[in-house]
Chain A
Amino acid sequence: MSSRLGAFLGSSIGKKTLMSLTGLGLVVFLIAHLAGNLTLYADGTGETYAAYAQKLKDLGPGLWFMELGLAAMFVAHIALAFRTSMENREARKSRYRVRGTKGEANLPNSSMLITGTVVLVFLVIHLLDFRFSEGLAPPHADVLAPKVVDRLASFTGAAIYLIGGVAVLIHLGHAFRSALRTLGVHHPQYENLIKRTGTGLAVALGLGFVSFPVILFASPDNYGGRGAESAQVAPAEQEQAPASGSPTVPTAAPAREEG
């Protein structure tokens, strides 16, 4: 059985199958991640967000387990992406002088490696920004919201998160449908539905993530940013303190691993 699995994973179809499965897993994660992030909009203080972060932290070892699984999916997906892309380059060393298309090639399906690499670079920055901002342990839940708001209120922060969100949007524009086809799902009756679902997912997730740099850059004060802190949110911060007073608040970090 193991040699059979090895042969499968060594084949082109096996590699693409694993990429599809991990890719779909990452889409599920993105949905959860975005849902968590949206709690930031729930109030102007970041309290709901901190509570969500705290809940994640309270998962204890379960959180580590989830983070490891997530990391494994990322590593497998990215490693296979680079491997197969390199093989594809090897498969055609001499390029066409004129690059034509019969209408099927488009921005998302022709730029998966580029958008994927942008997302990867973004991911590293993003993890350092929040998940590993206090070392290996997840950051405190109560400081997370102001940290997020401050980061996205800065010009570079907003630019980085905007680029990251747009890259996710474009990447997902091809991802869903491609993954399903690689997994063998294709039916003339459902092709349109699958296409629309994929586009809808890409737009919903992409715009969802893009909304943070846009909204927080435009009005950080409304979401408990530093500006708000100094102005009127001081009390809100105190209110938060008890909720997050506990030692270390692991938290939102895991969930934001990659968005």
Chain B
Amino acid sequence: MIATNGKDTIGLTLNVWRQAGPDAEGAFETYHLNSVSTHMSFLEMLDVLNEQLLAEGREPVAFDHDCREGICGSCGVVLNGQAHGPDRDTTVCQLHMRRFHDGDTITIEPFRAEAFPVVKDLVVDRSAFDRIIGVGGFVSARTGAAPDANAIPVPKEEADLAMDAASCIGCGACVASCPNAAAMLFVSAKVSHLGRLPQGAPERDERVVAMVQAMDGEGFGNCTNVGECEAACPKGISVGNIARLNRDFVRATIRRR
């Protein structure tokens, strides 16, 4: 595989946000990498940077990652102002260095939101999402043993839309890219994913009210329908889910007991 610029290695200047701890003052530090293989992923490039830093006796850059194949939602940084970097439908762990050019400067920042406090460097605490899930992002009905396949009929279209919503990996890029640091895309994906399926439908009203309340309580912003969330979402979750969340919330407010 040949890099788009015809070179297999590129030199980069990195401006990286360094912050020793949650309460420490953060600042940018500049690093130079001379020969980055264009076949690396972005996180592998950070690994190389960290090895270089360790060799120099300096503190490596902390960043979140786990699966490195775009399915766990652990990774996530903002590159040159874009959550997960320049590509659509791509987590930063799946972003490849061939996307960059020799001599590029990349500014790497953590996801910024009051609800996502920085733990260290590029690592942020996204447990606000867990707390939102904790108040209703599940099905509590006793389902007994695994039912036979197709015992509960689900219309194909609903199943597809539920699956689309369920593809949310909870990475938080929607919050990071939203000008208001709103979490509507995340919450709407969870609410749609469960509410569209027969198993999740009975708790639809309680779920949406509880999850929106929790979302507001965590200090996320209000949606202004800019749509940057959908564009930044590595799973391409549609803002149509947000409209559906709004409908669901109004409906639940009216008919909830």
Q: How far is the CB of A80 from chain B (nearest CB, A)?
A: 9
Asked whether any CB of chain B lies closer than 8 Å to the CB of A105, the reply is yes
Report chain B residues within 8 Å CB of A95. 112
Give chain B's interface secondary structure class: mixed
Given contacts A88-B181, A97-B107, whether A184 and B115 have CB atoms under 8 Å apart is no
Binds B, one of A11-19, A59-67, A248-256: A11-19
B residues 198-219 touching A (CB-CB < 8 Å)? 212-213, 215-216, 219
Asked whether any CB of chain B lies closer than 8 Å to the CB of A231, the reply is no
Asked whether any CB of chain B lies closer than 8 Å to the CB of A101, the reply is yes
Asked if B113 contacts A91 (CB within 8 A), the reply is yes
Asked whether any CB of chain A lies closer than 8 Å to the CB of B100, the reply is no
Report chain A residues within 8 Å CB of B80. 98, 100
B241 and chain A: residue at smallest CB distance: A186
Per-residue A-contact encoding for B233-257, CB less than 8 Å = 1, 0 else: 0000001101111110110010010
Q: Which of A11, A15, A103 has the most CB of B within 10 A?
A: A11
Q: How far is the CB of B130 from chain A (nearest CB, A)?
A: 18
Given contacts A12-B212, A91-B180, whether A181 and B78 have CB atoms under 8 Å apart is no
Per-residue B-contact encoding for A76-117, CB less than 8 Å = 1, 0 else: 000000001001101111111111111111000110100000
Given contacts A91-B180, A174-B225, whether A104 and B231 have CB atoms under 8 Å apart is yes
Report chain A residues within 8 Å CB of B220. 12, 91
The complex places the Cα of A8 from the Cα of B249 at a distance, in Å, of 9
Chain A residues within 8 Å of chain B by Cβ, number: 44
The complex places the Cα of A128 from the Cα of B244 at a distance, in Å, of 42
Report chain A residues within 8 Å CB of B140. none
Asked whether any CB of chain A lies closer than 8 Å to the CB of B109, the reply is yes
Report chain A residues within 8 Å CB of B247. 184
Report chain A residues within 8 Å CB of B230. 104
B107 and chain A: residue at smallest CB distance: A98
Asked if A188 contacts B222 (CB within 8 A), the reply is no
Asked if B243 contacts A102 (CB within 8 A), the reply is no
Asked if B81 contacts A87 (CB within 8 A), the reply is no
Report chain A residues within 8 Å CB of B1. none
With contacts A87-B222, A92-B114, A98-B107 known, what are 13 further pairs, Cβ within 8 A?
A5-B253, A11-B212, A14-B253, A16-B223, A88-B181, A91-B181, A91-B219, A92-B112, A96-B81, A97-B109, A98-B109, A100-B81, A182-B243
| A residues with CB within 8 A of B | 4-5, 7-8, 11-17, 84, 87-88, 90-105, 109-110, 112, 174, 177-178, 181-188
Cβ contacts A to B, 25 pairs, < 8 Å = A5-B253, A7-B253, A12-B182, A12-B222, A13-B212, A13-B245, A16-B222, A16-B246, A88-B180, A88-B182, A90-B219, A90-B221, A91-B182, A94-B26, A96-B78, A97-B107, A101-B81, A102-B88, A103-B231, A104-B227, A109-B227, A177-B225, A185-B243, A186-B239, A186-B244
